[in-house]
Structure 1
Amino acid sequence: MFETKIRKVGNSAVMTLSAELLAILDAKEGDTLFVVRGDDGSLKIMTHDPSVAAALEAAEIVMDENRSLLAALA
């Protein structure tokens, strides 16, 4: 578990991420992080957009199902 503080910067509230937490996330200053709320109220912090990953998985399924048709069109 990691503990961090929320502080005010201008009109925003910011959460400081330690170097250790950034290493675990494989993130660096300037990267975009995505926060998803779970059904149980938990938060998940990710370095990739989960909606993009879901769309890519769906596209891969469609391409696999229609491989011969797509090859003919190419």
Structure 2
Amino acid sequence: MFETRIRKVGNSAVMTLTTDMLAILDVREGDTLFVLRGDDGSLKITPHDPAVAAALAAAEIVMDENRDLLQALA
């Protein structure tokens, strides 16, 4: 587990990623990350993956097209 702090930079809140965190994610400064929210409220940080981005975009289209049906099933 890693510990980091949130600090204010301009109008944003920023979380610092240490060099160890960057190494584990296999990313570097300037790379894009995804932050996903789990059902338990946790956050998962993952490196940008074009295949995942395409799948998420496709899922969002399907959810938008079937919003009423999905709400009825929920």
Distance in structure 2 (CA, Å) of the matches to 1:52 and 1:22: 24
What TM-score do the two structures reach when normalised by structure 1? 0.66
1:11-49, Cα deviation, whole Å (9 max, x unpaired): 111000000000000010001111000111111101125
Matches within 5 A, 1:1-74: 1-49=1-49, 50-53=52-55
Name the % identity. Answer: 75
Distance in structure 1 (CA, Å) of the matches to 2:30 and 2:46: 14
In terms of Rg, which structure is larger?
Answer: 1
Distance in structure 2 (CA, Å) of the matches to 1:13 and 1:54: 25
Distance in structure 2 (CA, Å) of the matches to 1:54 and 1:8: 30
Structure 2 residue runs of 5 or longer lacking an equivalent are 58-74
Q: Describe the SS at the equivalent of 1:52.
A: helix
Structure 1 counterpart of 2:16, one-letter code: T
In the alignment, what sits opposite 1:61?
A: none
Q: Describe the SS at the equivalent of 1:17.
A: coil
Q: Describe the SS at the equivalent of 2:22.
A: helix
Structure 1 residues 53, 25: CA separation in 2 closer, same or farther (over 3 Å shift)?
farther
Structure 1 residue runs of 5 or longer lacking an equivalent are 56-74
Structure 2 counterpart of 1:52, one-letter code: A
Number of corresponding residues: 56
